[in-house]
Amino acid sequence: MISFEPEPEFQTKLDWTREFCESELMPLNYLLMADKQAARAGKPKVLDEAKFKRHIRSLQDQVKKQGLWGLHLGPELGGPGLGQVKLCLMNEILSQAGMAPTVFGTRAPDTGNAELIAHLGTPEQKKTWLEPIMNDEFRTCYSMTEPHAGSDPGMFRTRAWREGDEWVIEGEKWFSSYADEARLLICMAITNPDAPLISRASMFLVPRDTPGLEIVRNVGTFNEPWGEGDHGYVRYNRVRLPADALLGPEGAGFTGSQTRLSGGRIHHAMRAVGTAQKALDMACERVLSRETKGSLLSDKQMVQESIADSYIQLRQFRLHVLYAAWLIDKHKAYNREVRREIAAVKVSAPKVLMDVVYRALHIHGSLGASNEVELGQMWMNMPWMGIVDGPTEVHKVTVAQQTLRYFRPSDDLFPSYHLPKKVAEARAKYADLLEHEIGAL
């Protein structure tokens, strides 16, 4: 039987996390908003940076005492080994508090990079990089996307080749998030352009201070002022690395990246559930609070339809995400069945988020369109759900291809479900029951 209801012990953890996020992390989120607003207005910053960092460490200690640090990792890597269903239930809560990934040790891209090193790294690579990443000692960067190609591996131009005992990397990367802050970049480069696509690329561990590594500029998203941003446009100017900088086998870069990205997609989807739920909660409070034309908004049938549509759409999506997570836990692998469901929820996420957030924003009227509630931020971040970790169109192709694998073409002039054929088969099967001939369709 499929069940998404957590056992009482874990429900206690979920309850603690929800209360912790609401009482400790959300107020910090609002302080950070005020701090950023002050900086943009040229006013003194609100937060004392040293005190803030010490406070974050104290919050991280509380999370560790609960056994919830590094939620995505197994016990062998210092995590709780929750499994994907429990991870999704946690991410649903954490998505509503901006500081949660940092405080719970699940900050992207560091989490995925730690997993890559844990699964593919040599003992020396793990000793040098994995433990500090797990301890949140510095930021890392996953440097894969390219300006002309996005995340299409067939179009990548960044190359790496051997010269003696060294690897040389040359090319440009785009949206290498936190490259300028990172101490380590994991770079995807083509090492054998003539090999089949799945075997063309390799991954390399590139320390930030390596000569030839150039941050051309930082790029922001469209909800940030021009000139600000955390996504590095990176140029690798014949960057030289020792032979042991190769992460995993040569030619296994794309395979490794899919292991990293598949888990991230399911977590993105559940975070979309949490964000959409927050928008729906805001809409429900608003319609019960505001009167117009002689009655509450909640009494208006079109408003009731909006609330009902959001609730139904969100419940359906949430169950689909949990089902995909349950399949991962069941199979312990990203097989074809699992990949189809992950792709499907990845396709659904931006549409559900767009619909639910838009309805909530519309219900709020001018307040919803202002910068004094969070709906505008939710709306501005929504398009990314259809782009990150592969565009929606690519995932639709995956869903279609994996679905069609379960079917075979008809070898007859008419399809197998053609009613005259079905009636003839039924007549032959139950001939002894027939007293009179059945009329042809």
pLDDT in tens, 172-221: 999 999 999 999 999 999 999 999 999 999 999 999 999 999 999 999 88
Give the residue among 129, 217, 221 at the shortest CA–CA distance from 179: 217
Helix (H, G, I), strand (E, B) or coil at 174: strand
The dotted CATH code for 140-247 is 2.40.110.10
Give the residue among 38, 143, 58 at the shortest CA–CA distance from 102: 58
Strand-pairing partners, residue 176, are: 232
Q: What is the pLDDT of residue 153?
A: 78
User: What is 8-121's CATH number, 3.40.605.10, 3.40.640.10, 3.10.310.30, 1.10.540.10?
Assistant: 1.10.540.10
Q: What is the pLDDT of residue 260?
A: 67
Give the residue among 287, 333, 326 at the shortest CA–CA distance from 310: 287
Q: How far apart are CA 439 and CA 431, in angstroms?
A: 14
Strand-pairing partners, residue 167, are: 162, 241
CA dihedral 354, 220, 136, 19 (to 10 degrees): -30
* Chain position carrying tokens 């049938």: 301
Respond yes or no on whether the N-terminal peptide bond of residue 109 is cis (omega within 30° of 0): yes
Q: What is the pLDDT of residue 181?
A: 93
Regions of the chain where pLDDT drops below 50: none
Domain with CATH 1.10.540.10 in the chain: 8-121
Helices (H), 288-412: 301-331, 336-364, 366-369, 375-381, 392-404
DSSP 418: -
Contact, 158 vs 189, CB < 8 A? yes
**Six-digit token pair at 244?**
């042991």
Q: What is the pLDDT of residue 439?
A: 57
Q: How far apart are CA 290 and CA 242, in angstroms?
A: 65
Instruction: Give Cα 394 to chain centroid, integer Å.
Output: 15
Q: What is the pLDDT of residue 214?
A: 97
**Angle between helical axes of 84-94 and 253-287 (0-180°, round to 10):** 50
**How buried is residue 138: exposed, middle or buried, by Cβ count under 10 Å (0-12/13-18/19+)?**
middle
**How buried is residue 23: exposed, middle or buried, by Cβ count under 10 Å (0-12/13-18/19+)?**
exposed
Phi-psi region of 294 (alpha: psi -120 to 50; beta: other; left: phi over 0): left
Neighbours of 212 (CB within 10 A): 15
Q: What is the pLDDT of residue 298?
A: 97
Q: What is the pLDDT of residue 437?
A: 61
CATH topology for 255-404 is Butyryl-CoA Dehydrogenase, subunit A; domain 3 (1.20.140)
Q: What is the pLDDT of residue 266?
A: 84
Instruction: Give Cα 20 to chain centroid, integer Å.
Output: 23
Angle at 258 (CA atoms; ends 254, 261), nearest 5 degrees? 130
Q: What is the pLDDT of residue 262?
A: 66
Q: What is the pLDDT of residue 255?
A: 83
Give the residue among 106, 80, 113 at the shortest CA–CA distance from 92: 106
Contact, 167 vs 223, CB < 8 A? no
Q: What is the pLDDT of residue 134?
A: 84
- For CA atoms 106, 57, 139, 122, give the dihedral sign: negative
Within 8 A by CB and 6+ apart from 93, the residues are 14, 17, 18, 21, 100, 274
Q: What is the pLDDT of residue 94?
A: 92
pTM for this prediction: 0.86
Give the residue among 398, 399, 395, 377 at the shortest CA–CA distance from 386: 395
Tell me the C-alpha to C-alpha distance, in Å, between residue 60 and each of 51, 298, 366.
Answer: 14, 41, 38
Q: What is the pLDDT of residue 227?
A: 73
Q: How far apart are CA 156 and CA 151, in angstroms?
A: 8
Domain with CATH 2.40.110.10 in the chain: 140-247
